Structures are given as C-alpha cells and as structure tokens.
Amino acid sequence: MAAEGDVFLRARGRTLTAFRQDDEYQWKGPFYFIQGADPQFGLIKAWAVGDTNNGDDEWGEEIKLAEQAVQAINKLNPKPKFFVLCGDLIHGMPGTQWRKDQERDLKNVLKNTDQDIPLVFVSGNHDIGNTPTKETIDNYCKNWGDDYFSFWVGGVLFLVLNSQLYFDSSKCPELKQAQDVWLNEQLAVAEKHKCKHIIVFQHIPLFLRKPDEDHDYFNLEKSVRQEIMEKFHKAGIKAVFSGHYHRNAGGSYRGLEMVVSSAIGCQLGEDTHGLRVVIVTDEKIVHKYYSLDELGSQGIEKELLDMLAKQN
C-alpha cells in the first residue's frame, strides 16, 4: 500500500492506484466495502447557532465522530475492500476562513484508517462549491485526488462522479462535457469486459425517494436526473450511493437502486451518526446502515457475514 503521504491522493489519472486494474477484472467471489458520507467538519456548530455560512469555527464533535468511524472500520474482520466517503468532507466552502484547518484535522483522523483499507473520496458541494469553477476543482484535486475516476474490484466496476457538474456547471461547462465524454467511454469499457456489476458513487442523490419527485436542494434537476437515470439504466448500473441529505433515504428506477446514506457528522433528521456496510454478491448488492456505536461494538451481523462466506 502507498506511504502515508499518498493515502489521500490515490485517485490519479482517472483511476484509483490502490488497485491493480489488470488483477481486478475477474469476479473472485463476494466482498464488501464501507460507505460513509458528510463528516462535514464544522456543520454541527454552524447548524446549532443558525449560521451555516460563518458559524463553522468549531468541529470537536465531528473529530470524535470521525475517529469513532475509523475505529469501527479498523476492527472489522474480514476487512472491507475500501472505505468510500461520499462528499462534504468539511463544511467550509472554498475560500472560507476555517477550511484549511478543517481539512487538516480530517486528514489527521483518516490517516489512522488501516493501511490495507484504501480511502476513496467523492467531491461534494462544500468541497468544490455549489457552483464549482476550474479553480475550486483543481484545489480539491490537489488535496483529495481526482474529482471523478473509475476503479475495478473483483470484476465490479466502480464509478466516482462529480455531481456538482450536474447540479450547476455554469462556470465550467467544458469540465461537465469532459466528464460526460469520459463516462460514456467507461460504460463502453464495462460492456466490453462484461463486468459483474457497475456501482456509482456521487454526492448529490439523483432523487431521495421517487424518480419523478420535484427538484430541490437535495436532489438533481428533473431533466438532468432523467437523462442520467436512463443512461445508467441502459448501461445496467445496479446502484448509486450518495450522501448530501444527512438522513437515510432511497428508492429505485427501473432496476437501478438509489441509496442515500445519512452522515457521519451532523444529522438533519432522526437517524444516528453512522456508516453503511455494502455486500457485493454474484447476483445482488445488499446493504445496511449501522450506527457508529453498533458497528463499533458489535460489528457486522452474522446474516451479512454469511453472504460473504458463500463462494460462487
């Protein structure tokens, strides 16, 4: 595995260097990974004081929650193939006062993740701005690696997308176009390799519960959403995993499952701070959201572990 300094920059050249692609085209049996979202250092205080623009000057609670998440993941046996964080790593928007300190403190926690469990980062609106620019995306990439990329694990293709380019690309239309071209190329490769499943990670959900729900801050605009859903459906994509909502939600569109996971950090609903365990079997993708307390004290339940033990 890479040296400590590289663990945040494994997404390079539109792939994830933690896995040797040529070794990973073949299905080797069931495996699992951990999905987390929105550690968002600074939001708990900002939300409590009612100032989400400037109230993010403390994040001690988020540090503790992120440490709890890392400790829970490090205890798991067998180990997950990777740990993906689906965006809003920190609360401070590009150019704001506390951003660099929040990023530093998050990295200090995440670097303690077991070195055999690669970290996978997804860009969120707080990471690159609600209306990203080439500059905000470049800055993100210097800190956390590429904003979109693909990687293979055991015959499964994983696609990490920059969903801000679907939300508002008005200041960088050429970057949205580049991601679109790249995505089409990736789906063509997937077809050629006859992959077992395709799974997508992006920060903003396509939808929260119903594919035709109205557009708001927490989902994608309806015409954009429809186009993506159709593309994903035609490509045989099984599931999209997102964050952004700070609550658990989800639904499906023509066999495509939309999974919205609540936050490691600030909760905006009734859910607990937690992580999602995702089991990938020959036929299906099965997942369960665990509170940090539950995963840390009890680990993964037997029913899910038994699915991993079945060799295809």
Do the domain assignments include residue 287? yes
Q: What does the pLDDT read at residue 194?
A: 86
pLDDT digits (tens, 9 = 90+) for 191-223: 988 899 999 999 999 999 999 999 999 999 999
Reading the block at residue 21, the tokens are: 């692609």
Do the domain assignments include residue 235? yes
261 contacts 276 by C-beta, under 8 angstroms: yes
Q: What does the pLDDT read at residue 216?
A: 96
Do the domain assignments include residue 296? yes
Do the domain assignments include residue 1? no
pTM for the structure as a whole: 0.97
Do the domain assignments include residue 186? yes
Using CA atoms, how far apart are residues 161 and 179, in angstroms rounded to an integer? 8
CATH of the domain at 92: 3.60.21.10
pLDDT digits (tens, 9 = 90+) for 147-180: 999 999 999 999 999 999 999 999 999 999 999 9
- pLDDT tier for residue 21 given thresholds of 50, 70 and 90: confident
Do the domain assignments include residue 85? yes
Q: How many domains does the chain have?
A: 1
Using CA atoms, how far apart are residues 136 and 162, in angstroms rounded to an integer? 12
pLDDT above 90: percentage of residues in the chain: 94
Q: What does the pLDDT read at residue 228?
A: 98
46 contacts 59 by C-beta, under 8 angstroms: no
For range 248-273, the mean pLDDT: 98
Do the domain assignments include residue 312? no
Reading the block at residue 227, the tokens are: 């186009």
115 contacts 70 by C-beta, under 8 angstroms: no
Q: What does the pLDDT read at residue 3?
A: 44
Q: What does the pLDDT read at residue 311?
A: 61
Do the domain assignments include residue 7? no
- pLDDT tier for residue 1 given thresholds of 50, 70 and 90: very low
**Enclosing domain of residue 176:** 13-307
101 contacts 63 by C-beta, under 8 angstroms: no
Q: How far is CA 54 from CA 51, 91, 94, 264, 278, in A?
A: 6, 10, 13, 21, 35
Using CA atoms, how far apart are residues 148 and 109, in angstroms rounded to an integer? 23
